Structure formats: C-alpha cells, structure tokens
C-alpha cells in the first residue's frame, strides 16, 4: 500500500471559534515514500458493502476499458486484466485527487473498489488500498459516515493481513479519527488518533515523519476538545521533530506552522498566530511554484489574521490575491475557494460593503452546496454568515430562516451548550423578538447557559 496515499488529507476547511475567520489547513503528508514489508495473508470474514458505479464520464471510460478485455480469455486471464484495470482506475483516482478534483477521484476509486470486491472474496492488500483511498476521498468531500464505514473495514482487513502491529494499522486508526472529528465525536476521535500515535512510536521507535504527522493530528483534536494549551505542546513537538528529521524545507513544516497559527488564533494571540502563518507562507513560497494551492492557503491565513489585527484593508487585498490564485488552479468548485469567498465576505462586512459581502457569502454557500452534503457543518457555517449578513441588510425573515437551518444542522454535530449553538440561539432569540415571535424567542433563551 502507498503510505503517502494512506496519510494524505485533501484540503480541509476549519472554522475559528468566533466564526469571524476561516483559516485553511492542508493535512497532506507531502511527497513521502515508504516501502512496506511483505505481509502474510489470512482468511477471515469481512463486510461487503457495495457501491454502485457512477453514471459519469469516468464510468464511460470504465466501460470502454472493460470492453477491451477479450471474452475469449480464460477466467484467470480475465482476472489478470480486471486486476490491471482496477490498478489503472486507482492510479487515475490518485492523480485526480492530487489535482484537487475530489469528486472525479472518488468516482474512480469507487470503480476500482467494485472490481476488487469482485476479484478478492477475502482480505487482500489491494482491496484494503481501495477501501482506504475511497474512504479518504469521502472525508475530503465531507461524507464522514460513509468514509468511516470504509475505513473501519480497511482497519479490520489490515489487522487480518498482518500478525504484528503495522504502519498500515496506525495510519488507518488516524484516518478513522479524522472521520470521527468530522462527525463531531471528538473524544472518540482523540482516542483513535492517540492509538495511532502510540502504534507509530512502536513501529518507528519514536522518531519518524509519520510520528510527527500523528503528533500534529493529536494536537489538533485536543485543541478542538478545548484543551488548546495541551494541544499546542503536541504541535510544538511535531514541528521540532520534523525540523530535526528534514535536511531541507519540508512541506509538513508549513502544515504544522499553519495549525499552530490556527490554535494561537483561537487563543486570541493574533500576533503570534500571524508570525507562524507568515513563516508557513515563506516556506511554501520556497517549496512550491508561485500559483500552488498551498501558497493560496497560507495567503488566506495571513489575510484573515491581518483582519483580526485591525489591518483590514491589507487583509482584504491578501485574500483577493489568494482567491485569484485558487480560481486559476481550480476553475470549478473547490472547498478552499468557497472558504476564501466566505472570508472575503466577512471583511467586506467590516468595510461596510454589505451588498458585496452578500454576493461573496451567496457564492460560497452555493459552491458549498455542490461540494458537501446539505446537512454538513460547512453548510451550517455558510448559513450562519449568510443569515447575519441578511439581518444587516434588514432582510430579517430571511435571516431567521438561515439561522434556524444552521442551528438544526449544528444540533446534529454539537450539544446545545456548544459555543456555536449558543451563539446561534442568541442571534435567533433577538431576531424572533424583533419579528414579534415572542414564544419562539423564549424557547431559544431557555436553552442559553
């Protein structure tokens, strides 16, 4: 199994505590190579969850490639051809994923998985690869429950295929932790990330790039659990280890710096956060070509922090630069593009440009609807910002509808005493009172702590 693919994370959007800014963190484990030892195969039962092949251009390619398999071949030869076909589909999916074409990549991974399920009735490394790649693609598309099902199956398979603890198992534990984070099951996510870290320390004797990556993941989930200072210690250890292991600039350092900046921003240490975001930007400029998405991510984080430091116009210009860069690299819908549009909307509000802000929020919302499930946290965040903007434009009834929808979605992921839901309840109570809906406003206020 390709461990770079195992540990990869497509661009993830992470919202700050007060919803004013949206830093971006790319959790790709960049360009690492690992050759795994041979594993012994064992027979055991595993779940067989079927995925229908998508009716798309890639499906047409699949049919064309499949038709090239001669019907005169004996079954063993046909299996060899189908195995090669699955490998080609898998490789194409991986290429599309690296280009940021996440939906297309998921289509190819689904096709490869369908073939491999048919070819391998029991546990098999190639089947495990397909389960993991499709699971990670679905994580990037914010479909965490489907991803979790696939990754848990892959984990069971990994444990069956290897008699000893392996890097595969550790990485799958980490990926499952990410799925649980997306589902809002943060304590469970921490447990899985922590298990993955402990296992990686055994496999790699404490010091390895994968251990640094795992320290990063544990640190971030601790931050989300409200244990930011403890999380920051893990992040600093991750950065220190990565610098020690890397002879040259390493992309993972930029990722860790961005996460540290985000945690510091959550602690309202905006100048410290800015310093880390700026370091990440400078490093990414040394590593990547000038129009690379990682540079756009760093520009977004710098722009948002400039805004929080009161340098609003500077922040606005930096974010516009980041948006133009992303739209050049990803002409269609992309999670980072949607996030930066939202950030520009926030700054436009601060600059008093409410109509301009509305256009950016609306574009971000429309793009997010095409990228994510309708009940995802990303949609709730869009509705929250759009609703507040509509209220500022005196479109009060529309604002109420948006905020009610946002609260309904958030309630699926967070308890009612979570700061996101408490904030929405306060907004809604005031709007409902203004609309004369006194009883409904009272119900909201009763849920406030």
pLDDT in tens, 151-172: 999 999 999 998 888 999 999 9
Query: What is the C-alpha separation between 54 and 110, in angstroms, rounded?
Result: 8
Length of the chain: 449
Q: What is the pLDDT of residue 116?
A: 95
Mean pLDDT of 321-349: 92
How much is the pLDDT for 29?
A: 30
pLDDT 10s digits, 187-198: 999 999 999 999
Residues with Cβ within 8 Å of 388's Cβ and at least 6 positions away in sequence, in order, are 399, 403, 427
| Mean pLDDT value across residues 376-384 | 93
pLDDT confidence of residue 12: 32
Identify any residues that bridge with 26 across adjacent strands, giving them in sequence order.
11
Q: State the Cα angle at 368 between 364 and 316, rounded to 5°.
A: 25
Highest mean pLDDT, choosing among 9-13, 79-83, 319-323 = 319-323
H or E, element range at 13: strand 11-13
Tell me what the pLDDT averaged over the chain comes to: 83
Per-residue pLDDT, 76: 53
- Burial class from Cβ neighbours inside 10 Å (0-12, 13-18, 19+) for residue 430 reads middle
At residue 2, the pLDDT reads 42
- Span of 37-46, 58-67, 268-277 with lowest mean pLDDT: 37-46
- Which pLDDT score is estimated for 69? 43
Is 391 in contact with 399 (CB distance < 8 Å)? Answer: yes
Q: Is the pLDDT of residue 203 over 60?
A: yes
Q: Is the pLDDT at 1 greater than 50, yes or no?
A: no
Letter string b/e over residues 149-165, b meaning 16 or more CB atoms within 10 A of that residue's CB: bbbbbbbbbbbbbbeee
Quote the CA–CA distance of 286 and 282 in Å, as a whole number: 7
pLDDT grade for 287, boundaries at 50, 70 and 90: very high
CA angle at residue 93 from 91 to 99, to 5 degrees? 110
Beta bridge partners of 25: 12
**Among the ranges given (58-62, 105-109, 395-399, 431-435), the one the predictor scored with the smallest mean pLDDT:** 58-62
Q: How much of the chain, in percent, has pLDDT values that exceed 90?
A: 65
What single string gives the DSSP state of each residue in 31-48? T----PPP----------
Lowest mean pLDDT among 57-71, 384-398, 406-420: 57-71
Residue 321 has pLDDT above 60, yes or no: yes
Which residue carries 């950016």 as its tokens? 360
pLDDT at 269: 96
Mean pLDDT value across residues 202-227: 92
Question: What is the mean pLDDT of the segment spanning 234-239?
Answer: 97
114 pLDDT exceeds 70?
Answer: yes
Where does the pLDDT of residue 23 fall: very low under 50, low under 70, confident under 90, or very high at 90 and above? low
Name the pLDDT band for 337 (thresholds 50, 70, 90).
very high
C-beta separation of 102 from 139 below 8 A: no
* CA dihedral of residues 80, 84, 85, 91 (deg, nearest 10): 160
pLDDT for res 80: 65
pLDDT at 264: 96
Q: Name the percent of the chain lying above pLDDT 70.
A: 82
Q: What is the pLDDT of residue 64?
A: 45
11 neighbors 297 (Cβ within 8 angstroms): yes
Angle between helices 209-224 and 186-204 (to 10 degrees): 160
Q: What is the mean pLDDT of residues 95-101?
A: 84
Residue 435 has pLDDT above 90, yes or no: yes
Tell me how far apart the terminal alpha carbons of the chain are, to the nearest angstrom.
Answer: 49
The pair of three-digit structure tokens given for residue 373, joined into one six-digit string:
């499930």
- Output the pLDDT for position 24: 55
């Amino acid at each position: 199994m390709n461990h770079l693919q195992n540990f990869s994370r497509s661009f993830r959007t992470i919202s700050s505590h007060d919803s004013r800014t949206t830093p971006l963190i790319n959790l790709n484990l960049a360009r690492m190579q690992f050759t795994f030892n041979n594993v012994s195969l064992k027979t055991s039962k595993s779940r067989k969850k079927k995925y229908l092949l998508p009716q798309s251009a890639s499906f047409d390619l699949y049919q064309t490639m499949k038709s090239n398999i001669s019907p005169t071949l004996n079954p063993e030869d046909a299996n060899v051809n189908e195995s090669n076909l699955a490998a080609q589909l898998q490789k194409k999916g991986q290429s599309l994923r690296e280009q940021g074409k996440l939906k297309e990549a998921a289509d190819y991974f689904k096709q490869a998985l369908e073939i491999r399920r048919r070819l391998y009735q029991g546990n098999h490394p190639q089947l495990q690869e397909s389960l993991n790649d499709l699971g990670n693609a679905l994580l990037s598309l914010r479909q965490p429950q489907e991803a979790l099902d696939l990754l848990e199956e892959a984990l069971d398979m990994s444990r069956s295929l290897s008699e000893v603890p392996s890097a595969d198992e550790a990485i799958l534990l980490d990926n499952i932790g990410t799925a649980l984070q997306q589902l809002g099951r943060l304590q469970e996510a921490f447990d899985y990330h922590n298990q993955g870290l402990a296992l990686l320390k055994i496999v790699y004797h404490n010091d390895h790039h994968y251990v640094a990556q795992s320290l990063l993941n544990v640190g971030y989930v601790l931050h989300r659990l409200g244990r930011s200072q403890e999380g920051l210690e893990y992040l600093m250890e991750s950065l220190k280890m990565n610098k020690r292991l890397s002879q040259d600039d390493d992309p993972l350092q930029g990722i860790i710096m961005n996460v540290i900046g985000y945690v510091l921003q959550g602690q309202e240490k905006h100048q410290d956060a800015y310093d880390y975001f700026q370091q990440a930007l400078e490093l990414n400029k040394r590593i990547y070509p000038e129009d690379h998405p990682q540079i756009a991510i760093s520009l977004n984080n710098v722009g948002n922090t400039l805004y929080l430091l009161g340098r609003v116009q500077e922040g606005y210009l930096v974010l516009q630069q980041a948006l133009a860069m992303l739209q050049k690299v990803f002409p269609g819908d992309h999670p980072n593009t949607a996030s930066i549009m939202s950030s520009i909307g926030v700054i436009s509000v601060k600059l008093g440009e409410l109509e301009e802000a509305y256009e950016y929020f609306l574009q971000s919302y429309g793009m997010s609807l095409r990228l994510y499930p309708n009940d995802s946290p990303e949609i709730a965040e869009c509705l929250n910002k759009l609703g507040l903007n509509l209220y500022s434009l005196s479109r009060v009834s529309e604002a109420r509808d948006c905020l009610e929808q946002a609260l309904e979605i958030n309630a699926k992921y967070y308890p009612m005493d979570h700061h996101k839901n408490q904030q929405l309840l306060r907004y809604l109570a005031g709007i409902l009172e203004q609309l004369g809906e006194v009883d409904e406003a009272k119900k909201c206020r009763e849920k406030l702590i």
